[in-house]
Structure 1
């Protein structure tokens, strides 16, 4: 995505994706509570190099470490101008994990991944299942390990979530995904939500 194509507000675009896809389709059953409580921190990195992004990531990891969970439970570090290529982004995740270790935050914080061109290993680029991790911009999701543990305790078999999400997106299809983000006229009804199983 070129600078000319960037929307005026990456936070608003990412929030809309979070509300309509992640929460709206229940792709992550744990996201709604922190979003409603305003415990999601949205940060846009101005980085244009991996080195600058790594500095921003370090700052945000430390910020999350030092901030009470009831203020900020999780952080979305949005970086529109760097790592637009998914393979480069995927390689960077190893560097991000090394940074977590270097900051002595293993077991405290972790980094999850979202990208506009996210592709699970062994899938075709247009496989709808990839859309479970497709965000409007390359994004590093900083999570608290204790929050992840509580979520896993509530859903001891995370494969159930993955399988449900794939079924949801199969029913929705590519056209439905696009429709999810289409701006309706003020008097137009929103498309009906996808029924969960």
Structure 2
């Protein structure tokens, strides 16, 4: 198992090179520049512990103002390695958000090394938009997202633009940017 420092570095590289570098999320660069993104490495040994970490993330986001902490990436290197297990766990995250009375306050975006959109085959290029070196639960403040989307022309076009960007990458660029993808 990689050390927390190694995991953090891999996720930070992914964030800088792919999410921001390829402009997959046009809203990520500003909070990154301002130091408002927290990358937290889960220490959970089981799903019960992970549930508690998710609750702790929600509490942390409640306690720290958006000006200091706008968004949080909970990296889950020891759990949810199987994509379908991870995908099922997203329902639990939504349930925890509901139980903490945080619907409409926070939402979660999902990233995984084996990410697969419904209706695609495993190695479809469009899946690259949500592939990351480790399973990641990205907690987003809905107010921050709404403010960013309001300033962005055609936000509904972002997913299609991202798929187009992935199709334009050469095989060498894909190998370089996504070294963690299983062949």
Number of equivalences: 178
**Residue range with higher mean Cα deviation, 164-173 or 118-127:** 164-173
- Residue 44 (str. 1) matches residue 41 (str. 2): yes
Instruction: Please name the residue that 1:119 is paired with.
Output: 116
Q: TM-score, normalised by structure 2?
A: 0.92
In 1, distance between residues paired with 2:149 and 2:105? Answer: 15
Contact 1:20 1:181 in 2 (8 A): no
**Residue range with higher mean Cα deviation, 152-161 or 25-34:** 152-161
Q: TM-score, normalised by structure 1?
A: 0.86
Following TM superposition, the consecutive aligned residue runs of length 4 or more in structure 1 with deviations greater than 6 angstroms are: none
1:135-164 alpha-carbon deviations (Å, 9 max, x no partner): 110010001010111122123643311111
Instruction: Please name the residue that 2:64 is paired with.
Output: 67
In 2, distance between residues paired with 1:76 and 1:87? Answer: 20
In 1, distance between residues paired with 2:49 and 2:17? Answer: 31
Instruction: Please name the residue that 2:107 is paired with.
Output: 110
- Residue 139 (str. 1) matches residue 118 (str. 2): no
Measured on the aligned residues, the alpha-carbon RMSD in Å equals: 1.5
**Residue range with higher mean Cα deviation, 148-157 or 106-115:** 148-157
